Structure 1
Amino acid sequence: MTKANFLELGRVSAGYGASRVLDGIELGIAKGEFVALLGASGCGKTTLLRAIAGFVSPSAGSIKVAGRDVTRLPPDKRGMALVFQSYALWPHMTVAQNIGYGLKLKRHARTEIARRVGEMEKLLGLDGLGDRKPAQLSGGQRQRVALGRALAIDPEILLLDEPLSNLDARIRLTVRHEIRALQKRLGITAVHVTHDREEAMVMADRIVILDAGRIAQQGTPEAVYNRPASAFVAAFMGAENRVELWGQPLRARFEIEAGPANAACAVPLEGRPLARGFVEARFRAEAAQLFAGTATDAVPAGTLELSGHVETVSYPGGLWRHAVRVGDDMVLVDAHKAFAVGEAVKVRIPSDVLFLFNAPAVSPLAPTRSRSGGAKSRSLEASEA
């Protein structure tokens, strides 16, 4: 374990039966750090959290806390507390009894349990609610009770399994800020599972994105959002618009050649390992700019310009959202004003918000678009070369 790592996972693999869910996870978490495990359903994030907690036994690898190997220890011997998605409160117990339940199992004295429960109620804004049953509480209050029960035992690590998913949108915004403020105040190490990108962005010091049981990328929210390491991460972090372009690296730039729906341009390489050939370009709806098709002003250097037609227009709030047909692709672009359906437009994407990745390999006989926009097989292209 390095000095910076308080919780360390060493090549952890796990699964259910013959199905492997986690595949060699390597992850270190510093003491007092808040880490969000982010990913789509089935990516392995909840299994990873449960492996850390001790409810899933890894088939390989190790889990250490402060240098102590806890891989085979039961959950109650790991110094951790888990807040479940469903809260898992005892319906027949009061708020005070639920919060003090873990202390009772540890055989703490009644006076100590009462003191600690009182601290948690005050800390979490539950004063005066100690005698209520869970059914008499709002969703946000139940979530606070579940959090208080976890914190009452003074865990070294707090594990959160999508604890906000059952709250309505307005309450969820408030409670996530409360949890983050509480975590920073207590200095506790936290691992939070979520599928909500914005939730991970506002709560975590570091985001770990999982895909098919492996870590696709990890870093600060700013780094993962602005410098995605793959097309998958870019799409997951909101850059869902995708177009395919042709180009080649030349010195410190990537030269994008003109195509049926795009103008030629050159963007800084900035260390990206792009190869000659097709690239997958991704960008966010709010990052692009929309202009009339008749616009003749100069395009800023490094800006990709696409030509297309507006197919639909909607108003989700704040900006108008346009679905624009660009060649064979459909992209979404936000603008301060609405363009007419059917209107010819130009979509411009500055280089700093344009994410380029080498296009996935295609089998030799698979059809692919030629630079003129037609379809031909790669074997045919090779024979013509």
Structure 2
Amino acid sequence: MTKENFLELAEISAGYGASRVLDGIELTIAKGEFVALLGASGCGKTTLLRAIAGFVSPSAGSIRVAGRDVTRLPPDKRGMALVFQSYALWPHMTVAQNIGYGLKLKRHPRAEIARRVGEMEKLLGLDGLGDRKPAQLSGGQRQRVALGRALAIDPEILLLDEPLSNLDARIRLTVRHEIRALQKRLGITAVHVTHDREEAMVMADRIVILDAGRIAQQGTPEAVYNRPASAFVAAFMGAENRVELWGQPSSGRFEIESGPANAVCTVPLDGRPLARGFVEARFRAEAAQLLAGTARDAAPAGTLELSGRVESVSYPGGLWRHAVRVGDDVVLVDAGMAFAAGDAVKIRIPSDVLFLFNAPAASSPAPIRSRPGGEKSRSLEASEA
């Protein structure tokens, strides 16, 4: 065992009855690392956390902590602590009693429990609240009590099951920074489940994105955000705008041919395994530039230009958000000024914020997709052969 493989998950599969939720998960977490498990509801992230904690028994695979196999050990023998989404505080107990509950179960001396509880109250800004009941606390204070109870037993690994989802937006921003600062200060290993992309980005050293029980991508927040490995990851990380283009690789670049709603464009291939044919282009609303359709200046080299018409405009704050129809698709684009509904516009997306992926194979029956120039796609031609 090294520092880099402190927590090891090998080929973990799990499910409920005949339904498989996790499918061969391979994951290694370093000592002191903060890892966020990110994904939509039903992707398996909470099941994976509960398998690590010992509340779900894997149907296959193993879990090791510091080289020790804990796969079949009960939760209280794993050296871990779990902070629940619902806080799970005892309502009849005081703050001090809740924080010290785990120590009491382990039969620690009263003096030691009192000392440790005092340390947790001071560490978490709960001084003077030890005699209060949970009903007398704010949501943020309750979450700190739940965190104090978990940390009081001095766990090797801290598991967080969407612990901020019950807090209002303002308090959530504060508490997530407090948890991250505390984790770094203590040097504790943490695994955090969340469906909130921004929360994962600001708290974690590494993000693991799950999809249908498998790891879709993992890496630093910067890497996952700027270099998504698939269209699914790109969309989950905010690049929800999607248009379909036709192009082909050539000499380390990808040549996008002109179409009904796009100009010709050539972008760096950057190692992407793009093939000749239709590609799925994704980009974020804030990454594109919106111009009047009458703009005469040429788009910079390597910038994709789309033509469309504004369907609606809203103001979510800071920038104006435009829903623009581009061919058969509607995309969202932010701009510092508001265009009117019905205006013809141009959308420009620089190559470094344009994510291209091979379009999925046409399903059966295949939709008719025509490439620029009126030629049918090869997938359709094959289906007609």
Task: Measure, in 1, the Cα distance between the counterparts of 2:348 and 2:111.
Answer: 67
Query: Residue in 1 aligned with 2:381?
Result: 381
Question: Take 2:384 and 2:63, find their aligned partners in 1: how far apart are those partners?
Answer: 55
- The question of whether the paired residues in 2 share the 8 Å contact of 1:368 and 1:378 is answered with no
Question: Whole-Å Cα distance in 2 between the matches of residues 11 and 379 of structure 1?
Answer: 35
Counterpart for residue 257 of structure 2: 257
Q: 2-side partners of 1:142 and 1:86: how far apart?
A: 10
1:125 matches 2:153: no
Structure-1 residue corresponding to 2:349 = 349
SS in 2 for 1:146: helix
8 Å CA contact retained: 2:277, 2:377? no
CA distance in 2, matches of 1:114, 1:383: 74
Distance 1:100 1:3, change over 3 A: closer
* Greater displacement, 42-51 / 356-365: 356-365
CA deviations on 1:63-117 (whole Å, 9 max, x unpaired) are 0000000000000000000000001000000000000000000000000000000
Where does residue 203 of structure 2 map in the other structure?
203
Distance 1:300 1:132 in 2: 63
Shift of 1:340: 1.1
Provide Cα deviations, 1:140-175, integer angstroms capped at 9, x if missing partner: 000000000000000000000000000000000000
Q: Where does residue 32 of structure 2 map in the other structure? A: 32
Contact 2:3/2:31 (<8 A) preserved: no
- Counterpart residue number, 2:317: 317
Residues 384 and 90 of structure 1: CA distance in aligned 2, closer, same or farther (over 3 Å): closer
Corresponding residue for residue 304 of structure 2: 304
Contact 1:15 1:22 (8 Å CA) reproduced: yes
Over 3 Å counting, the alpha-carbon distance change for 1:377 and 1:103 in structure 2 is same
Q: Which digits, 9 at most, give the CA deviation of each residue in 1:270-299, with x for residues without a partner?
A: 000000000000000000000110111121
Cα distance in structure 1, aligned partners of 2:27 and 2:71: 14
C-alpha deviation, 1:346, in angstroms = 0.3
Instruction: Provide closer, same or farther for how the CA distance between residues 384 and 137 of structure 1 changes in structure 2, counting only shifts above 3 A.
Output: closer
Q: TM-score, normalised on structure 2? A: 0.97
Give deviations 1:330-352, integer Å, cap 9, x for gaps: 00000000011100000000000
d(CA) in 2 for partners of 1:102, 1:373: 70
Cα distance change of structure 1 residues 230 and 383 upon mapping to structure 2, 3 Å threshold: closer
- CA deviation after TM superposition for structure 1 residue 368, in Å: 2.8
SS at match of 1:376: coil
Shift of 1:371: 2.1
Asked if 2 retains the 8 angstrom alpha-carbon contact of 1:367 and 1:376, the reply is no
How many Å separate the matches in 2 of 1:300 and 1:363? 36
Q: Structure 1 residues 160, 383: closer, same or farther in 2, change over 3 A?
A: closer
Q: Once the 2 structures are TM-superposed, how far is the Cα of residue 4 of structure 1 from its aligned partner?
A: 1.2
Tell me if the contact between 1:367 and 1:375 (Cα under 8 Å) persists in the aligned partners: no
Q: 1:264 to 1:304 in 2, by over 3 A?
A: same
CA contact (8 A) 1:365 1:378 kept: no
CA contact (8 A) 1:98 1:145 kept: yes
CA distance in 2, matches of 1:44, 1:384: 39
Runs of at least 5 residues in structure 1 that lack an aligned partner in the other structure: none
What is the RMSD of the two structures over their aligned residues, measured on CA atoms? 1.6
Deviation at 1:372, TM superposition (A): 4.9
Distance 1:98 1:271, change over 3 A: same
CA distance in 1, matches of 2:80, 2:213: 23
Q: Which residue of 1 aligns with 2:92?
A: 92
How many angstroms does 1:379 deviate by? 6.8
Residue pair 2:362, 2:379 contacting (<8 A) in 1 also: no
1:286 aligned counterpart, secondary structure = helix
- Cα gap change, 1:8/1:384 in structure 2, threshold over 3 Å: closer, same or farther? closer
CA distance in 2, matches of 1:253, 1:317: 37
The structural deviation recorded for 1:377 is 8.0
Q: Please report how far the alpha carbon of residue 381 of structure 1 lies from its aligned counterpart in structure 2 after TM superposition.
A: 3.4
User: Contact 2:366–2:380 (CA<8 Å) still a contact in 1?
Assistant: no
Hey, what's the Cα distance between the residues in 1 that align with 2:242 and 2:64? 41
d(CA) in 2 for partners of 1:132, 1:75: 29
SS in 2 for 1:96: helix
Asked if the contact 2:100/2:117 (under 8 Å) is kept, the reply is yes
How many equivalent residue pairs?
Answer: 385
Question: Is the CA contact (8 Å cut-off) linking 1:261 and 1:308 kept in structure 2?
Answer: yes
Distance (Å, rounded) in 1 between the aligned partners of 2:374 and 2:281: 19
Q: Which range moves more in the overlay, 362-371 or 102-111?
A: 362-371
Whether the aligned pair in 2 keeps the contact of 1:367 and 1:378 (CA below 8 Å) is: no
CA–CA distance in structure 1, aligned partners of residues 90 and 375 of structure 2:
62
- CA contact 1:366–1:377 (8 Å) conserved in 2: no
Residue 363 of structure 1: how far off its partner (Å): 3.7
Q: Give the CA deviation at 1:380.
A: 5.7
1:377 and 1:356 map into 2 onto residues whose CA distance is: 18
CA distance in 2 between counterparts of 1:118 and 1:380 reads 70
Q: Residue 164 of structure 1 aligns with which residue? A: 164
